[in-house]
Chain A
Amino acid sequence: MLRFGHMALPGPLKRFFCSIANATTVLLNPTERVITIKNATNEDKKMHFPLAWLRDNCPCPVCYSASSELRNLKMMDFCPRVNAVSVQMSEQSESMTVSWDDGHSSSYRLEWLRAVAFGADTAGRQRPPLTRNRPVLWCDASKATAPIWQPKKVRFEHIMKSDAELLLTLLELEERGLVLIEDCGVDSEVVKNICKRLSFPRTTHYGETFEMRAEAKPRNLGYTSDRLDFHTDLPYMHEQPGVQALLCQVQASGPGGDSLFADGFSAAEHIRRSRPDLFRLLTTVPVRFRDRGQLADRRFDLVATHATIELDCQPDGEWCYRRVHFSNQQRDLLQAWPLADVQLIYDALKAFNDVIEGRDISSDSSKVQLQVKLRSGEMALFDNSRLLHSRTGFSGERQLAGAYLLWDEVLSRRRTLESQLQIGRQD
């Protein structure tokens, strides 16, 4: 498995690369400022290396620090117009050496060059699974009757002790956005422990962890026993923590208190196909969210503005869903919307809500919601930037404890687990 730096490939792969390295030729094109390596037996498999990039990534100890796996070469010492005086392949075609006009000389192992080559098929390439696994929608809007997906259940003890189990859980979280963890116990410390297994709980103005229960003087609807609207948490932050852990400590003894989760990406996809005009509004109109209040002696007033559906757009026109921001309660009264657009903006928000609520059911496939009554000691780990959540009304006592994590750190944990368990290619 290839790694950063210049380490060896495992056995079977190494044999494969060596066998085709024999008839390799290397060409320097000073005008285009590119070095091209090609194989005599396979003309189509050309590998290109821009000169500036080669100089920037020289692996020698002066230019690269193997101990910290970081570039040493300083931008102020780097000349992007440096020229290659000569380039040659070693006898066994295992390495390529470039001599530069600044007096420097760089040697690159061919197996490393193969992994990072610029080719016809690499332009625009994303790096999943290294960066982020692509989300898989809960339901396929194009299919007539697609069964709603069911969440994976894991045992708390297993993911705390087994790296493999934890890795599978995180992969599922990345793809589907929700995992249920059973037998956690009801101590709120459990929430911190799960977070520490991944990185650490992200403090917000609600604290390191938070508790939800019906209160006599509720600070918002969450602290009542009412049915809630579907929402994402913390939309009033510029970049809200993307992962939430929610533990059911006490479940209502009577009816109700069910947790509801909805796939925002599936809902977005449904709207895009059925009402593209409203989808356009949902992806472009900025909505201002606000959370104002007081906790103990601290007063707070957080405000942020987001489009309801955020897309990740590439320069070449390719795009995918990135985040959903939706909270009726925290949508601010004051909005910067032009008068003529307001009615349609509300129509769009309502239409989105109808799809999530399952009211806009043209067929079963548009049902993007699932309902689960968490038992005491059961935890939901979910993608707060993709799923919307709510709960049914209840009577009696019910208490949840929760905390947030950053996707940056959860993905980092997934990568290091893969690396430790030697699963998957690293680029």
Chain B
Amino acid sequence: MHCLHSTTLKSAFSRLKLLPGRWCHRLFSRSLSSASSKSSAWHRPDASAAAAVSVDEARRTLSVTWPSSAQDWTASHWEAASLFPLAWLRDSCQCPTCFNPATKSRTLHFKDFNPRVPVRSASVSPDSSTLTVEWQDGHRSSYSRQWLQVRSFTESARRRRGEALAFTARKKQWSQELTEFDYSELMSKDSVLLELLHHLDCFGCLLVRQSPTELGTLPKFGQRLAGFLAPSNYGHSFEVKSKSDPSNAAYTSGYLGLHIDQSFYSRRPGVQILHCISQPTDGSIQGGESLIADGFQAAAIMRRSHPDHFQALTTLPIDFNDYGSDFVGDFHFINRETVLRLNSIGEVDRVTFSGHSRDYNQNHLEPEKVQLLYEALKIFYETLSKPPCIIKHKMQTGHMQLLDNRRVLHGRLAFNVIGTAERFLHGGYVEWDEVYSRMRRLEEAARGDAREAQ
């Protein structure tokens, strides 16, 4: 049983005063060899060698060198030397005065925090399990080895953490067929729900089939996904069928061009859910196919094929507006934004586009730029409208279509209703913040422990 500390066994025997010291040793060796022949499968880190700590006040860093025998094989990564900024160590003190473990939030008041507080002393326990730092202000902080290993500031640790912290999936190109999920499986199995949410994040669109056709299905589904349906200026949810006095283009039976919903909002809903309560497949609804197009894919294609036009879409802002009267009373929204938004590393992270909501006012642009912008809009639209960017499908009664409203544009072909047939879609939104929150907690529950979701 070489997992047990050799001196522990030895001192245990000595304490029992069964045998004098050197006999203990012989007995211990014999018991060791006999134990190894029985060989237990379980191991624990053996940190018999001491860790070494050094503080660099000039650089304001602290480094710990861990003995290799203390290596934790259960951890996915291990580094021999960890590195920490002193300001961060003080800021991240885990004692009850400074930190609340239930909410994982800092309780140390910022006004009492000195980011330059020097270290009075720093040491690691003999078993290398705990680093203790005594600060000049009299405070004392303790950090466990596992905790430190996970949060180290070495380049390799940061790179690993960066990948984990990125959380949101790398966006992937979709195939020409929509992936389908089953409604009742989604409502009953957390694993299937998590799979759907990951798929939505990665690919931006999917279909749910076999959902009930009652009007209350959508709010229940939204609650399952993200806690609540997020209302908009059109209400807690919206109905799409022909209206006699249209206040919005979607309510007619005409062709609806590809667009991002609520382009006239700067803070707009993240996920659109369309529940098909009724669209009979007996030929009584002619047309009405749904169009969905991958804005990120179209942007990537344009970046290569028409770089100047791509640049126009990322630099020339357009005003989008909506004017009318609905759930919130009279409204008049204006949002000025570029069609393609780039994040800090040059990736397209949001698309804003709507033919009908694009305002006529453009004189904030120089006239020479206007021609380029219009060509760019046209090229973008044409790219969106053909494979590999477009999917055309016809929603059937019981289908639910989910779209990432940051990335996927949607439209609809004109439709004709024959006789008394009804085309009725019920729509609503959920927020990505809440979707990601749900994903984090589901993943944590799936891992079966309370280890911090990274």
Contact = CB atoms under 8 A, between A and B. Distances in A.
A421 interface: no
A416 B330 contact: yes
A70 B356 contact: yes
Interface in A18-68: 32-34, 48-53, 56-57, 65, 67-68
B323 A338 contact: no
A281 B276 CA distance: 49
Contacts of B361: 116, 127, 427
Given A69-B324, A302-B436, A328-B106, A74 B355 contact: yes
Given A53-B362, A116-B363, A343-B85, A300 B227 contact: yes
Nearest to B338: A315
Given A76-B381, A127-B334, A300-B227, A205 B103 contact: no
A343 B115 contact: yes
B87 interface: yes
A205 B115 contact: no
Contact of B374 (A56, A330, A409, A411): A56
A419 B324 contact: no
A4 B323 contact: yes
B286 interface: no
Interface string B102-113: 111111111101
A65 B252 CA distance: 12
Given A69-B324, A122-B364, A333-B92, A302 B437 contact: yes
A221 B107 contact: yes
Q: Which of A4, A70, A330 has the most CB of B within 10 A?
A: A70
Given A50-B367, A342-B85, A350-B115, A80 B378 contact: yes
A199 interface: yes
A301 B323 contact: no
Nearest to A80: B374
Contacts of A48: 367
Nearest to B147: A333
Interface stretch (A90-98, A186-194, A268-276, A291-299): A291-299
A331 B106 contact: yes
B381 A75 contact: yes
A407 interface: yes
A353 interface: yes
A423 interface: no
B109 A334 contact: no
Contacts of A33: 371
Interface residues of B, number: 98
B218 to A, nearest CB: 16
A127 B106 contact: no
A347 interface: yes
Given A68-B324, A336-B165, A237 B227 contact: no
Contacts of A125: 363-364
Q: Which of B248, B315, B363 has the most CB of A within 10 A?
A: B363
A301 B336 contact: no
B367 A199 contact: no
A301 to B, nearest CB: 4
A50 B370 contact: yes
B261 to A, nearest CB: 13
Contact of B441 (A237, A300, A409): A300
A152 interface: no
A149 interface: no
Contact of A123 (B327, B360, B366, B381): B366
Nearest to B444: A301
Nearest to A343: B60
A298 B226 CA distance: 10
A339 interface: yes
Contact of A127 (B319, B374, B437): B319
A52 B364 contact: no
A391 interface: no
A205 B363 contact: no
A330 B333 contact: no
B149 interface: no
Interface string A115-154: 0111100111111001100000000000000000000000
A293 B332 contact: no
A238 B433 contact: yes
B231 A203 contact: yes
Interface in A322-347: 328-331, 333-339, 342-343, 346-347
Contacts of A70: 249, 356-357
B267 A350 contact: no
Contact of A124 (B245, B330, B364): B364
A292 B363 contact: no
A263 interface: no
Interface in A373-424: 406-409, 411-413, 415-416, 419-420
A407 B264 CA distance: 12
A75 B378 contact: yes
B440 A303 contact: yes
A123 B364 contact: yes
B440 A301 contact: yes
A130 B191 CA distance: 48
Contact of B153 (A76, A304, A333, A339): A339
Interface in B140-169: 151, 153-154, 158, 161-162, 165, 167
Contacts of B371: 33, 50-52, 80
Interface string B305-328: 000000000011001010110011
Contacts of B335: 408
Nearest to A302: B437
A130 to B, nearest CB: 7
A339 B381 contact: no
A33 B432 CA distance: 43
Interface string B154-196: 1000100110010100000000000000000000000000000
B367 A118 contact: yes
A213 interface: no
A68 B366 contact: no
Contact of A68 (B248, B382, B444): B248
Nearest to A242: B267
A219 interface: yes
Given A406-B267, A408-B333, A408-B335, A347 B115 contact: yes
Interface string B331-373: 1111110000000100000000001111011111111101100
A288 interface: yes
A100 interface: no
B147 to A, nearest CB: 10
A357 B161 contact: no
Nearest to A34: B367
Interface in B244-290: 245-249, 255, 257-258, 264-267
B375 interface: yes
Contact of B83 (A50, A76, A339): A339
A321 interface: no
Q: Which 4 A-B pairs have CB atoms at the shortest separation, nearest pair first? A: A342-B85, A346-B115, A80-B374, A301-B440
6 contacts: A68-B249, A68-B356, A70-B249, A116-B360, A127-B336, A328-B108
Given A339-B83, A411-B334, 15 more contacts: A4-B321, A68-B247, A117-B363, A122-B364, A127-B319, A131-B336, A199-B328, A203-B231, A205-B227, A229-B109, A239-B266, A300-B434, A336-B165, A350-B115, A408-B266
